[in-house]
Structure 1
Amino acid sequence: MRDHGPIEPAVCWIHGTAPEAPGVVAQYTGTPERPGRFFHVLGSVAADPSRPDPGRRAALERAGPILYREVIRGFVIDAGRSRWLTHREISQGVLEAIRADRPRSIVGTVTPWPARP
């Protein structure tokens, strides 16, 4: 941070095999005077109504001076069949989420939940 300053915005699309990584990135995002936007890219399971995780946001906000944003990767329904998003669709959706700067963005759809591929 001394050479280049804090990360702003931070985009974290990190697999579950590195659960501490988002917290580490949050530590280097923004400053106390100017919190940085932290876009956490998550799988569709984060939108599962039966598995809420209100602690995720709080834990990351404790890790660093951030403005937490969730970007949920959903799926697409084409001609009555569902499929996962392509990397290109996800990337375009994340860029749109950064432009929109909402607390929660969904790329594709997460409903109806039983239609997940």
Structure 2
Amino acid sequence: MKHALVIGGSGMLAQTSLWLADQDYFVSIIGRNVTKLKQLSDLKPNITSIPVDYSNEIEFRNAIKQSITANGSYDLVVAWIHGNGQPIIHMLDSEIKQRSSKKWKLFHVLGSGANVEKYVQSINQTENYAYYQIQLGFVIEPTGSRWLTNTEIASGVMEGIMGDSNYHLVGTLTPWSQKP
């Protein structure tokens, strides 16, 4: 069975986590909310929850090691990481590389204000994985603009994974002056 890791997979990416489980992935979900994690893992036998904050490097690294040891190396990682994701992505790459030689895919979920070119340059991608970006925008409606709903975000991330293109935008970023 293929193994997917979803960082931040119990909140706005919960539907993405469930979808991956339906696509015959064993899904490991990292999050901080134990209640939400348990609710998801109770829904599908091929979902396991990992209650850890990725900003705690030691706990996060240990959780990744345990997850890979228990369920195999990751084939796909969906990462909703705030701020500079480079150290976390580098650590993931290192841990996966130590345990497997197969190439994996990283779908990096970015906020509307992220400079996607800066991320491409700062990630220092290796030959071990393919790097994809999914950027979250906003929606313009006749009565004004609004941020994306969790359902729209999850659907957009799923489209990005299925589309397998280097960059996928969910919603719009233009005109920027109309962002909520």
Which of residues 90, 99, 121 in structure 2 aligns to 1:55? 121
* Residue-by-residue CA offset, 1:67-100 (whole Å, 9 max, x unaligned): 0000000000011511110111101100110000
Larger radius of gyration: 2
Highest relative contact order (Cα 8 Å, sep 6+), 1 or 2? Answer: 1
Distance 1:110 1:88 in 2: 18
Conserved 8 A contact 2:104-2:129? yes
**Identical amino acids, percent of aligned pairs:** 34
Conserved 8 A contact 1:7-1:28? no
Distance 2:72 2:91 in 1: 15
Deviant stretches of 4+, over 4 Å: 28-32
Task: Give the secondary structure class of the aligned counterpart of 1:20.
Answer: helix
Distance 2:128 2:92 in 1: 11
Distance 1:88 1:72 in 2: 15
Task: Name stretches of at least 5 consecutive residues in structure 1 with no aligned partner.
Answer: none
Task: Give the secondary structure class of the aligned counterpart of 1:45.
Answer: coil
Deviates more, 1:13-22 or 1:83-92: 13-22
> Which residue of 2 is the match for residue 78 of structure 1?
141
> Which residue of 1 is the match for residue 151 of structure 2?
88
Distance 2:84 2:132 in 1: 21
> Which structure shows the bigger proportion of residues in helix conformation?
2
User: Once the 2 structures are TM-superposed, how far is the Cα of residue 111 of structure 1 from its aligned partner?
Assistant: 1.0
RMSD: 2.5
Conserved 8 A contact 2:78-2:106? yes
Q: How many residue pairs were aligned?
A: 110
Distance 1:69 1:82 in 2: 27
The 1:40–1:87 alpha-carbon spacing in structure 2 relative to 1, beyond 3 Å, is: same
Task: Name stretches of at least 5 consecutive residues in structure 2 with no aligned partner.
Answer: 1-67
> Which residue of 2 is the match for residue 13 of structure 1?
80
